[in-house]
């Protein structure tokens, strides 16, 4: 096989396998919000118990992400994805058997959180980003994010059908079998270690120097702070929207098809963001996305909650849902290069997951305390506008240049 054919085959195989791994990981995670209300009622828990477990999942996912990325950069992505798939299946199996809040926090929180760090979008994007040239990177990252986002409109309806037919316990068992498919994806994510090193004889910059440079760069911290808001929005809506719509008097299945619609239009939004990221400054695109999110949430909560308003909100939020991911990860690669993109994006992503923790936990806590989600919706509007402002001063230039040797 010619060198050109080999060079072409590797990115295509990794994009396909990475997209399928992300699809399963993200789709299974997006389904969990369907179980909040029925599981809490069946086990006599307040909503904070379920919400805290998912909040911990998001926090631990973010905490483990830089380490998973570092291991993948040293030993290959395939090994890390394999471990992630095993942990995912184990965690879902244990969730099916749990009746105790502590055991639920261990399975849904710790195990699934660790699993996500090893097989979900963060680890996949860093692997794909390393094998794509700079001029095609944003497009490739957008494509993988879009394909991975398809999990929300394919897996979530399956989760709703299983929940309606078999109840939450058996449903979790069946979902755990789906998670085993992630392990098969790992076979095609075994990127050769030499593809992760400096190319074309360019001197490689050490990880320690890269981390020092990032820690001193204000643009890196603005990007990190802004991504907190993305996590807050996405996690709160994913987990609490079905219950919010049910509380508003809409049919129970409304939450499932709302998340499905978000997932469907997320594919369009993520892919479009990736394409636009190769043509326009990413910081301005991100600023626009966060401002539009704030406007969409504001319009949703100030008008009556009806089926048409849910459809409009789901479509708008879907277009803006993970559109931030290819732009944010692309900015990291633009500023610091692709070699340690996984580790650096893992740090930025940790901020995203702190936001996820706050959004999910705050939703459950405030609902149990005051019986309303409205303060969290308003908080989402305010910080969305703040994030839009934070992205404007970001400098997209390359921060690191290899030293001459």
Length of the chain: 405
Domain that holds residue 43: 10-195+210-391
Overall pTM surpassing 0.85 (yes/no): no
Q: Give residues with Cβ within 8 angstroms of 282, minimum separation 6.
A: 138, 327, 328, 330, 331, 334, 396
* pLDDT at site 204: 58
Report if residue 200 sits inside a domain.
no
The string of pLDDT tens digits covering residues 334-380 is 887 767 777 788 889 889 989 988 998 999 899 989 999 999 999 99
- Give the whole-angstrom CA distance, residue 83 versus residue 69: 13
* pLDDT at site 87: 95
- Give the whole-angstrom CA distance, residue 180 versus residue 66: 24
Report if residue 182 sits inside a domain.
yes
- Give the whole-angstrom CA distance, residue 396 versus residue 219: 8
H/E element, 321: none
- Percentage helix, strand, coil for the chain under 3-state DSSP, each rounded to 5: 85, 0, 15
- Give the whole-angstrom CA distance, residue 117 versus residue 60: 8
Q: How far is CA 22 from the centre of its chain?
A: 9
| pLDDT-based confidence at residue 171 (cuts at 50, 70, 90) | very high
Evaluate whether 38 touches 203 at the Cβ level (below 8 Å): no
Q: How far is CA 96 from the centre of its chain?
A: 23
Q: Give residues with Cβ within 8 angstroms of 195, minimum separation 6.
A: 10, 130, 131
The Cα angle at residue 45 between residues 40 and 47, in degrees rounded to 5: 65
Report if residue 346 sits inside a domain.
yes
Task: Compute the radius of gyration of the chain from its Cα atoms.
Answer: 20
Q: Write out the two tokens for 248.
A: 């508003």
Report if residue 399 sits inside a domain.
no
H/E element, 373: none
Please name the residue that has the structure tokens 């907190």: 228
* pLDDT at site 278: 81
List alpha helices for 278-340, DSSP H: 282-302, 307-320, 324-336
- Give the whole-angstrom CA distance, residue 284 versus residue 233: 19
The CATH number covering residue 162 comes to 1.20.1250.20
pLDDT at 140 over 80: no
Q: Write out the two tokens for 56.
A: 């911990």
* pLDDT at site 178: 93
Number of structural domains found in the chain: 1
Report if residue 55 sits inside a domain.
yes
The string of pLDDT tens digits covering residues 52-109 is 898 898 889 888 988 888 888 778 888 899 999 999 999 999 999 888 899 999 999 9
Q: What is the 3-state secondary structure (H, E, C) of 77-143?
A: HHHHHHHHHHHHHHHHHHHHHCCCHHHHHHHHHHHHHHHHHHHCHHHHHHHHHHHCCHHHHHHHHHH
Look at residues 198, 202, 213, 193 and name the one whose alpha carbon lies nearest to residue 339. Answer: 198
When mean pLDDT is compared across 196-200, 235-239, 351-355, the lowest value belongs to 196-200
The string of pLDDT tens digits covering residues 289-339 is 999 999 999 999 999 999 999 999 999 999 998 899 889 988 888 887 767
Report if residue 272 sits inside a domain.
yes
- Give the whole-angstrom CA distance, residue 227 versus residue 325: 9
* pLDDT at site 239: 85
H/E element, 368: helix 341-370
Report if residue 125 sits inside a domain.
yes
Report if residue 403 sits inside a domain.
no
Please give the DSSP secondary-structure letter assigned to residue 203: P
């Amino acid at each position: 096989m010619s060198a050109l054919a080999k060079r072409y085959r590797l990115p295509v195989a990794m994009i396909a396998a990475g997209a399928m791994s992300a699809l399963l990981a993200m789709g299974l995670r997006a389904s969990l919000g369907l179980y909040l209300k029925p599981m809490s009622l069946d086990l006599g828990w307040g909503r904070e118990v379920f919400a805290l477990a998912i909040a911990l999942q998001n926090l631990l996912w973010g905490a483990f992400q830089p380490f998973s990325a570092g291991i993948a950069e040293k030993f290959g992505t395939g090994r890390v994805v394999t471990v992630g798939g095993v942990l995912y299946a184990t965690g879902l199996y244990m969730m099916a058997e749990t009746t105790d809040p502590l055991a639920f926090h261990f399975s849904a929180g710790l195990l699934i959180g660790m699993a996500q760090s090893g097989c979900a979008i963060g680890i996949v994007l860093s692997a794909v980003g390393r094998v794509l040239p700079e001029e095609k990177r944003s497009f490739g990252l957008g494509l993988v994010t879009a394909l991975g986002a398809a999990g929300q409109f394919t897996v979530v309806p399956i989760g709703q059908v299983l929940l309606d037919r078999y109840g939450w316990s058996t449903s979790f068992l069946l979902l755990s079998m789906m998670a085993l498919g992630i392990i098969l994806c790992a076979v095609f994510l075994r990127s050769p270690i030499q593809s992760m090193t400096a190319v074309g004889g360019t001197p490689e910059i050490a990880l320690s120097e890269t981390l020092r440079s990032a820690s001193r760069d204000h643009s890196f911290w603005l990007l990190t702070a802004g991504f907190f808001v993305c996590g807050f929005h996405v996690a709160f809506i994913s987990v609490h929207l079905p219950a919010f719509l049910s509380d508003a008097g809409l049919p129970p299945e409304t939450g499932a098809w709302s998340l499905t619609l978000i997932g469907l239009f997320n594919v369009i939004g993520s892919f479009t963001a990736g394409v636009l990221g190769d043509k326009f400054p990413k910081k301005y695109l991100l600023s626009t996305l966060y401002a539009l999110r704030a406007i969409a949430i504001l319009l949703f909560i100030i008008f009556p909650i009806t089926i048409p308003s849910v459809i409009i909100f789901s479509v708008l939020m879907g277009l803006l849902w993970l559109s931030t991911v290819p732009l944010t990860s692309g900015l990291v690669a633009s500023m610091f290069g692709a070699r340690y993109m996984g580790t650096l994006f893992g740090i930025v992503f940790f901020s995203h997951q702190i936001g996820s923790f706050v959004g999910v936990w705050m939703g459950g806590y405030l609902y149990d305390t005051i019986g309303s989600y409205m303060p969290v919706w308003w908080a989402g509007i305010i910080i969305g506008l703040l994030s839009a402002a934070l992205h404007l001063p970001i400098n997209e230039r390359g921060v690191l240049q290899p030293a001459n040797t």
